[in-house]
Amino acid sequence: MPVAARRRVLVVGIDGVRLDTLRRLDTPHLDALAAAGFLAPLVVEPGTPTMSGPCWATIVTGVTVDKHAVWSNDFSGNRLAVFPDFTTRLREAGRRTYVAAAWEPLMTVANGGPLFRGPGRVSYVAPASDDCEGWEEADELVTAEAVRVLAEDDPEASFVYLGAVDETAHILGCGEEYERAVVRADERLGRLLAAVRDRAAHAEEAWTFIVVTDHGHRDEGGHGGRSERERTAWIVCAGPDVPAGARVGGLRHQDVAAQVFASLDCPADSHWTLDGRPFAAEPQAVLLDMDGTLVDTEALWWRTAREVAEGLGHRLTDADTSEVVGRCVKDTAVHLWRVSGTERPLDALVAELDTRFLAAVEGETLLLPGARELLGALGDMGIPTALVTASPRPVVESVLKLLGAESFQVTVTADDTDRTKPHPEPYLAAARSLGVDPAGCLAVEDSPAGIAAAEAAGCLVAVVPSLVPVEGAPGRRVLTGLQELVELLEAGRAPRGSE
C-alpha cells in the first residue's frame, strides 16, 4: 500500500502589492505558481479598514474584524486569544509551525501585538531603520532565515512576511522603485520555493503554496481609504488539491486560514466559528467514466464476463475483479483465455463478450442516481464535459441514447485510442480534445483501473465506488454518490482530494 505524501503548507504574505502593478511586471516565481494553480483577485470587505493590521489578522485567523477586533495597526483591544492565528491553532493541535517576519506587531507585544501568539518556531528581525533600505535589509534577513528553516527543519505550516514593498510605496509612491521592490519580493519568494524543492524529503511531501497581499495603494502611496486600488488584493495558490488553471471566484481574506487547515487534512473545528472556507476551485473540465459511474452497466459487464467464463469452465471470483471491472473487452478476453486454459481463439472470446454485453446494455441499462442531475449541473455551470470509457463505440452509442449525446463535448471509447484504461491515454486524449491541461480536470470514476488511468494522466479524481471498494488519497476523494458531487459543485466546493 503506497504511503500518503506528507502534507505541508507555506504561506507568503507580501504587503501592499497592487494587482495592476503585479500583472504588468515580470515576476517569474509568482507567475509559475499562478500557472500551476491560480491567481485570483479579491476585494477587502466593506467593514474592514484597508490597513495592514486588520487585513493580516483576517488572513491568518480566518475570521473577520468583528471577531478578531484588530481595527488598525495598533492591535490593542484585540480578541486574538479567542480567535488565534492558524500557526497557533495548529501548534496547539500538535503540528509543527513556523513564522518569519520583521513587522513588530506581528511578532512582539508592540502596539498591542503579537498577531502570532504561539507558533512553534519564530524568526524575528527588526528593521535597522524605518525606511526603504532598512526594510529591504530586514526582508533579506527574514528570507535567509526562512530558507534555512524550510531546508533544514520540518514545519508543517509556515508563514513568511515581506514588508519592503509596502514601505517603499508609503515613502516613494507606486513608481519605478516600488516596481523594483515587487520584483525583489518575487526573487525572495523564488528562494523560499527553491528551499522547499531542495528538501531531502521533498519527493515524499505534498506542498501547498499560498501567496497573498493585504491591500493595494493609491498612486502617490498610502492606503486606508475605499478606492478600488486600495481595496483590491489578490491570492496566488498552487498545490496538490488545486488544478492548474483553476477557475475561482468570490475569494476573501478569511479563506486563507481555512485553506491552510484543508491543505493539511486538518478539518476546522466548528467551535472555532471560522468565517472562511477553503478555496473553491472549479475544474477546467470534468471527464466522466461511463460504466458503473453514470449507468449501471458495470454489473452487466461483470455478469457478462461471468457467463462467458462459465462457458469456458472457469468461475469468476473476487480474485478476477481487477482484471475485469473497468477493463476493456480485449483485456477481459485475454484474462479469461489465460485463466480458463481454453483453446478457443481469442477473437472468438472478444466477439462473444461484445455481443452479450451490447445485448445486455440495450435491454437493461438504467441511469445511476444523480447522473441526470450531474450532467444538468455541469451544463448549467458551463464546464466542458467528456465521456471517457473502456467500452467499445457500439455500447457507448447505445448508452448515449439514455445520457444524451449533447451532454458531452467529447467521447473517448476503447476504439479511439491505441491503449485504454488503466493506461492514461484515454484521459490524456479527452483533455487534449477539450484543449485543457489534464491537471485542471476532475475525473469521475468507479473502478481501480479507471482511477489508475485518471491519476496517471494527472487528473484530480472523484470516486463513486460500485463493485470494488476504494480508499481516498491525495488528489482523490471518495464520494457517497453522484448527488454528493452535484452538491459540492453547486456549492463551489469541487473535490480536491481526500477529505
CA distance 393 to 399: 10
Nearest by Cα to 222 from 175, 182, 167, 170: 170
Indicate if 291 belongs to the active site: yes
331: its cell numbers: 483485456
Nearest by Cα to 147 from 102, 199, 212, 107: 199
Indicate if 289 belongs to the active site: yes
DSSP 224-281: -S--HHHHEEEEEEEBTTB-TT-EE----TTHHHHHHHHHTT-PPPGGG--S-----E
Dihedral (CA of 307, 313, 317, 320) sign: negative
- The residues, any chain, with a CB within 8 Å of residue 493's CB and separated by 6 or more, are 277, 278, 280
Helices of type H across 232-282: 255-263
Q: How many CA atoms, within 13 angstroms, populate the side-chain half-sphere of residue 430?
A: 36
Partners of 159 in the β-ladder: 11, 99
Count CB neighbours of 356 within 10 A: 18
Give the neighbor-by-neighbor strand order of the sheet with 385-388.
410-412, 385-388, 285-288, 441-445, 460-463, 476-478
205: its cell numbers: 511531501
Nearest by Cα to 57 from 76, 36, 39, 35: 76
Count CB neighbours of 77 within 10 A: 10
Residue type, 280: A
Query: Do 68 and 56 meet the contact criterion of CB atoms below 8 Å apart?
Result: no
Catalytic residue among 15, 166, 241, 289: 289
Query: Do 22 and 202 meet the contact criterion of CB atoms below 8 Å apart?
Result: no
* DSSP code at position 39: E
179: its cell numbers: 516596481
CA distance 256 to 274: 11
193: its cell numbers: 520555493
CA distance 218 to 21: 12
Catalytic residue among 186, 255, 291, 437: 291
CA distance 475 to 101: 32
Active site residues: 289, 291
